């Protein structure tokens, strides 16, 4: 039997889960689209990505939830793990619908532009949230 006295003092690791692409969504008013639906629409519209200048991005809005330090760490982990080669996507009104974490990463990496799509029309929404 091994002597486990040293192992008793090892602190636990705090695990922060990852977010999958399938969990990403965009809400406009009461309508909600999954990221998958938005990118499928870009594909159906045969859109070509363009270079979006990051200097023109509005940094005054918070693109994701930050209620506490756990949320902050979760979002930082997402920023660290994104693939900036995937274009961000703007809705048909010009609002960023998917890609806040990629924008953050590109800015942190000192990039001047990021690939983007702008939808011509919105696909059917995936679900509707009732407003109470």
pLDDT in tens, 60-110: 888 888 899 988 998 899 899 899 999 999 999 999 999 999 999 999 999
pLDDT of residue 107: 96
Q: Work out the mean pLDDT of the chain and round it to a whole number.
A: 89
pLDDT in tens, 9-19: 888 887 877 76
Residue 14 lies in a domain: no
End-to-end Cα distance, the chain? 61
Domain count, the chain: 1
* 3 state SS of 42: helix
Residue 111 lies in a domain: yes
The range of the structural domain enclosing residue 83 comes to 30-123
Q: Is the pLDDT score of 1 beyond 50?
A: no
| Predicted model pTM | 0.82
More confident of the two residues 76 and 132: 76
């Amino acid at each position: 039997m091994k002597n486990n006295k040293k192992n008793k003092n090892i602190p636990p690791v705090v695990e922060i889960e990852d977010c999958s692409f399938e969990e990403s969504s965009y809400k406009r008013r009461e309508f909600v689209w999954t990221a998958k639906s938005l990118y499928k629409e870009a594909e159906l519209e045969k859109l070509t990505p363009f270079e979006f200048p990051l200097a023109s991005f509005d940094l005054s809005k918070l693109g994701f939830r930050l209620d506490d330090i756990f949320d902050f760490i979760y979002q930082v982990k997402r920023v660290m793990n994104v693939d900036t080669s995937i274009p961000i996507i703007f809705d048909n009104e010009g609002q960023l619908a998917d890609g806040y974490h990629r924008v953050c990463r590109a800015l942190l990496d000192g990039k001047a532009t990021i690939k983007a799509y702008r939808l011509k029309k919105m696909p059917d929404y995936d679900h509707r949230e009732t407003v109470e």
